[in-house]
Amino acid sequence: MTGTEGRVRPWASVEIDVPFHDVDAMRIVWHGRYVKYLEVARTALMRSLGFDDLSVHAQGWMYPVVDLRLRYLAPARAGQRLRVRADLGDYAPMLRIRYQVRDAASGRWLARASTAQAPVEVASGALFTRPPAPLLARLEAALDRWPSR
């Protein structure tokens, strides 16, 4: 496995205000909306590495989610401000990202999650067991530039 061991683990954090349309009849965030919040954080992380979905797709590749694990710890509610953090773990053979969803004011844990995304060639739809060399080199160069913070 290729990962971030021995390096500062890249991460990104976003804040999201829970809109009313994300809650259910009990006025808590509908469980499926958490996936959207994770995606916002994942996008911020990958963009910070110069590895956003559009640039990867332009090179003929995509990284669809092949595994999602989500554990709900406490309910989020309409109007609540959330802080969602995404941390990059391994990046080969798949991207593995871990997430924290917390109340932005108190830091209270609301959910934790992880995703795995596999490299797929856009033209053929073929799933690859390792990232293509140009993408792997580009990601490793971005990790080498990642600031210590």
The residue whose two tokens read 């390792």 is: 130
User: Is 57 within the bounds of a domain?
Assistant: yes
User: Is 77 within the bounds of a domain?
Assistant: yes
User: Is 1 within the bounds of a domain?
Assistant: no
- Which one is catalytic: 24, 87, 90, 103? 24
Residue 66 structural domain: 11-145
Q: DSSP letters of 29-48?
A: B-TTHHHHHHHHHHHHHHHH
User: Is 3 within the bounds of a domain?
Assistant: no
Which residue type sits at 64? P
Q: Does the active-site annotation cover 24?
A: yes
Which residue type sits at 47? R
User: Is 24 within the bounds of a domain?
Assistant: yes
User: Is 36 within the bounds of a domain?
Assistant: yes
Structurally, the chain folds into a number of domains equal to: 1
pLDDT given for residue 1 in this prediction = 44
Q: CATH number of the domain at 53, please.
A: 3.10.129.10
What is the value of pTM for the model shown? 0.90
> What does the pLDDT look like over 14-30, one tens digit per residue?
999 999 999 999 999 99
Across 92-111, average pLDDT: 96
